[in-house]
Structure 1
């Protein structure tokens, strides 16, 4: 005879464990981690297995992530201790060991199938995200690390004057990526805001542009006059040399060269 209540108790604990890991994964993803990293680190923290890697150290660099990980570790310890009792009880009757084991395995398989269901994930993920958004503050705050701002890269605001090189040109004409610079947004003089502007967007005097790139390049771009074509050519060449230098120093490039 199967120990029904013990099996059900164990399966409920297992289902709750998967739900907690899923919530933790979504919470970590909301702080800026990729879905794969967030899922692995949530499972690692909850189970206590593997949470000693370099990736784990990177995960706990911000207060919000540390709080999530700490909660998962605590819940994981409580959950596994709770699961042990019904598991031991279910196997006390030797005569029902095989049936109980089969019931547990079947129940676990069903729960895993539901947990991996894309339909179910599409249904519950938005609900969890809305709940976390209303009850917590998990928005991305570690902009410095995400954008590499602790090194030579910066986010910079430039106010556009009539004699500024950026003035009265579209982003297609400017082709800022050729200089290693990205246009993130434009604050118009009338107070409107253009996020992720397209190639045909034109910059006007009085606008304030938000740029991302190397600090020295952004500073030069802010000081560049509208007729300074040589500075533009030097900036493009400098970026090309920088990119080529990165390619030469990359491990993949060194491996390719060693094969020839």
Structure 2
């Protein structure tokens, strides 16, 4: 009788090939699968509150998370976004320095924090991957500082579109072809993240459309018609679109 392998939920995972799970050995993958469970949150729901003890960590399977910090006067500042395959949560204890909320409907693959920490003790490879993710987060924070401190508003918006292009490119990338992208968060969140206003974003997007850089399909969906011109507009050659690889950073790498 031929051997029939039964597919597990992990085998069907939408981010299996781009998340942390793809960069560890098979034995560790099986251990992670035993610990994992899925959680879903609706747009606007809190995943982890600011200054809350982190009881679980995980990976974004679908949707987008936003990281927000409360200011003394009650205002909230969006300090980061987490996309598909990004790792979230604070491993090795401590309180969450910011709130993590669903910026859209999200599905998360979660691990109980203490059990995950014990796994890092048994598998140094996992701890190594977490270190790489932390370094990628640090790079992302530096890029974000550069974006807010040195770039003009049109350059920031073009950079944001390029990041979405790289994410969308996971489904296939053909030089010279247009690329469809979806902005998975509200215009208000984009404005907060890029340090501008919704009105300015609308004005710049329509100017990009007039120049033939993008085509507006609706408020959240666009076709990038001229990627090279988009790169030029961003002023960031390091964000140039490249063919996708499996070596995704798996961290807060949107910026």
Q: What's the TM-score bracket when you normalise by the shorter of the two chains?
A: under 0.3
Q: Of Structure 1 and Structure 2, which has the larger fraction of its residues in helix?
A: 1
Q: Which has the higher strand share?
A: 2
Q: TM-score, normalised by structure 2?
A: 0.21
By relative contact order (CA 8 Å, sep 6+), the higher-ranking structure is: 2
TM-score (norm 1): 0.21
